[in-house]
């Protein structure tokens, strides 16, 4: 029974999505890349309103004359840290005088992270070089980049998983200065609230090594905000403009999604995709209107939870 349903859905699903996108005058290819299992997957869909304060804080932090070296963004899983990372990175690249190094694998060792940073900025080193040689190559390249007027940002995602040795190496990089006293790079760490606790333990355990963080770490922090139903509806308008123009989502659907998601962006994006799929299939079978309402949201969740139950039973 489950196999037959799967085959039927595999046949109908792509046709239903394509037809519904056509009726909405959406670009189906853009829609396909707009939402992933991780949530919002395109920087153009970053919604600034829920965390409007972070833009000003990061702008001040990255200003070349600002001597602060570390900025921490934190909150629970699914709160949009990766979306902010992609949005800020893309925006900085467009400015021209910034370059962002992204470290997205926290499982690397401290030496591997140093080599990854060196690789991304074009430092000359051999894979066989020891820590001392890699750090020397890094310093030379960082100085070269700074003298060219380029502001380097090192962004470490899921930073709550890195160990004390990595924190110490990153601290050392962020504390490097040019001859005129300008920081060679700035460090942004994003992670769960565990990251803040880890940094506090690091500072207490190694006060001299942690001197570069000191009180500045507590000042340069930002905890993300949960979305409201208004934010959800604004996200849908942004999604609609990205894919085409027509916004099929209703205000009552936004209220329902808010109640279910508790304002978490990743969950909101996932529910959005599920509700869209339900409506697309309904449109394919019955040639219905274009609106996605709270009924489609609830049906999507019911089907999703039912499929999870079936999967566990088999």
Tell me the pLDDT tens digit for each residue of 178-225. 888 888 999 999 999 999 888 888 777 765 555 545 444 445 889 999
φ/ψ of residue 188, rounded to 5: -115, 125
Contact 130, 154 (CB under 8 A): no
pLDDT at 67: 81
In sequence order, what are the beta bridge partners of 142?
none
pLDDT at 37: 74
Distance CA 264, CA 50 (A): 11
Distance CA 278, CA 59 (A): 41
* pLDDT string in tens for the chain (314-residue length): 455 555 555 567 889 999 999 999 999 999 999 988 778 888 888 888 999 888 889 988 988 878 888 899 999 998 989 889 988 998 888 888 999 999 999 889 999 999 999 999 999 888 788 999 999 999 999 999 999 999 999 999 999 999 989 988 998 998 898 888 888 999 999 999 999 888 888 777 765 555 545 444 445 889 999 999 999 999 999 999 999 989 999 999 999 999 999 999 999 999 999 999 999 999 988 877 899 999 999 998 886 665 544 444 44
Rg (CA), the chain: 23
Distance CA 48, CA 44 (A): 11
Report which of 14, 15, 35, 18 is spatially closest to residue 26, judged by C-alpha positions: 18
Helix or strand run (H / E) with residue 62: helix 52-62
156 Cβ contact partners less than 8 Å away, ≥ 6 residues apart: 103, 106, 113, 162, 170, 187, 188, 189, 190
Q: Which domains does the chain have, with CATH numbers?
A: 2-47+227-313 (1.10.8), 51-223 (3.40.50.300)
pLDDT at 65: 79
* Token pair recorded at residue 247: 């916004």
């Amino acid at each position: 029974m489950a196999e037959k349903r799967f085959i039927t859905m595999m046949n109908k699903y792509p046709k239903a999505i394509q037809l519904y996108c056509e009726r909405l005058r959406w670009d189906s290819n853009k829609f396909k890349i707009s939402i992933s299992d991780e949530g919002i997957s395109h920087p153009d869909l970053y919604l600034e309103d829920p965390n409007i304060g972070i833009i000003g804080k990061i702008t001040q932090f990255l200003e070349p004359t600002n001597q602060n070296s570390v900025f921490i963004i934190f909150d629970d899983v699914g709160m949009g840290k990766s979306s902010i990372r992609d949005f800020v990175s893309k925006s900085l690249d467009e400015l021209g005088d910034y370059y962002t190094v992204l470290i997205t694998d926290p499982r690397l060792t401290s030496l591997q992270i140093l080599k990854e940073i060196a690789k991304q900025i074009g430092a000359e080193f051999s894979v066989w070089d020891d820590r001392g040689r890699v750090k020397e190559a890094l310093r030379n390249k960082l100085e070269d980049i700074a003298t060219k007027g380029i502001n380097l940002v090192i962004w470490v995602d899921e930073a709550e998983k890195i160990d004390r040795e990595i924190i110490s190496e990153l601290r050392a990089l962020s504390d490097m200065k040019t001859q005129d006293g300008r920081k060679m790079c700035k460090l942004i760490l994003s992670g769960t609230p565990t990251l803040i606790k880890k940094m506090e333990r690091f500072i207490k355990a190694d006060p001299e090594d942690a001197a570069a963080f000191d009180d500045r770490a507590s000042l340069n922090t930002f905890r993300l905000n949960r979305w409201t139903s208004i934010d959800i509806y604004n996200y849908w308008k942004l999604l609609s403009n990205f894919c085409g123009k027509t916004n099929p989502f209703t205000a009552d659907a936004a209220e329902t999604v808010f109640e279910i998601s508790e304002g978490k962006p990743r969950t909101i994006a996932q529910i959005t995709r599920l509700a869209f799929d339900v409506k697309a299939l309904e449109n394919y079978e019955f040639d219905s209107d274009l609106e996605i309402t709270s009924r489609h949201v609830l049906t999507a969740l019911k089907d999703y939870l039912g499929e999870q139950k079936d999967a566990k039973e088999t």
